[in-house]
Amino acid sequence: MLCYGRRMHSGEAAAEAGKLLIIGLPGIELDEESRRLLADVDPLGVILFRRNIAGTEAVTELNRQIREGRSGFLMCIDHEGGRVHRMRAAPEFTHFPPALTMVRCGDPGLIRDVGRAHAAELRAAGFNLDFAPVLDVHTNPDNPIIGDRAFGTTPEEVIHNALPYLQGLTEGGLLGCGKHFPGHGDTSVDSHLELPVLSKATHDLTRLRTLELRPFARAIAQGIPMLMTAHVVVEALDTSLPATMSTRVIEDCLRGELGYQGYVVSDDLEMKAVADNYSVGHAAVMSLLAGCDGCLVCATPSLIREAHEALTRALVDGELPEAKHAAAVRRRQKLQSRLAKLERSAAPAEAIGDVAHAQLASRLSGIARA
């Protein structure tokens, strides 16, 4: 195996490898298995799903226990509205309609209010990062995974609506994360189940630059703190590798052409688009080599440990170059510094299920039905 740069000793490498991961936990409590996993991996953050949420008080307490004693720790969730609403067991949380429904109101100011409401309620429960907004352009009516999660069917519509939502999140004291770079809106398969491919014949560089990439470029210009990659092969950029593991997509296109200097996280490496073709450990290392700053491994403790062990080995034997790791560390520290400033300056979180939030959700749903 080729060696690049300084090798770390195993203890130092294991500690650093943990900070390259955001992980999922198995249940609704911080039981012994979860405590041991957190202690052994010591990740940058945790993402919660519906399986982790037993009610408003329960999830707030779970978040408190997870974050206790951890500085700069990311408490994450996918919380978009519509079908991506993890709070079914916590009905006090306001359930907003999906993004494409909200767009029909024709008022980006209201969508900004939704972002602020999401931030307020999530902060009250102990979250500090929402994996939103979706920046994909909904151009394929048969797309099984994006659909009404998108903020529009044209780049202009997505820019006009997703960026106010992002602004609302920020004003509410929450970090946002745009997804799924370089675009998942025109795929015909779900990357949770198989690997989508965007053909060069239909999605050449001109098409990508004028359609898929434009909302990401505008979000970058607005200062978005984090972007998530797509498990999609975009042949115009890389004929074989998914974007998550492609240097051509992340280093050359995202960082080089679009000039993005913020934090890049992979989508969940347990999704079948990746896991059916690569081991999770190998995928984690490839993602970091391609230019990601961190990886999501969202469900299985044994696979989380596999990713941690693979990243530890890559740091010990020099497979992950020192310069690349140092750049990831700088971007992580910048993200944590931004989070600390945001949390210090944000207004106190509003009550979950605030009556104004319910009225806003009802108004947006009513406009859609009209």
Catalytic (active-site) positions? 192, 267
Region for 213 from its dihedrals, namely left if φ exceeds 0, alpha if ψ lies in -120 to 50, beta otherwise = alpha
**Which residues lie closer than 8 Å to 358 by C-beta, 6 or more apart?**
94
Phi first, then psi: what are they for 172, rounded to 5°? -85, 0
Residues 39 and 43: their CA atoms lie apart, in Å, by 9
Are 63 and 125 in contact by the 8 Å Cβ rule? The answer is yes
Angle of CA points 302, 229, 168, to nearest 5° = 110
Are 327 and 300 in contact by the 8 Å Cβ rule? The answer is no
**Which residues lie closer than 8 Å to 65 by C-beta, 6 or more apart?**
30
DSSP string, 331-362: HHHHHHHHHHHHHHHSPPPPPTT-HHHHHHHH
Are 65 and 46 in contact by the 8 Å Cβ rule? The answer is no
Are 10 and 316 in contact by the 8 Å Cβ rule? The answer is yes
DSSP string, 289-319: HHT-SEEEE-S-HHHHHHHHHHHHHHHHTTS
Place of tokens 């074989």: 240
Please give the structure tokens belonging to residue 322.
């020192």
Please give the structure tokens belonging to residue 193.
């189940």
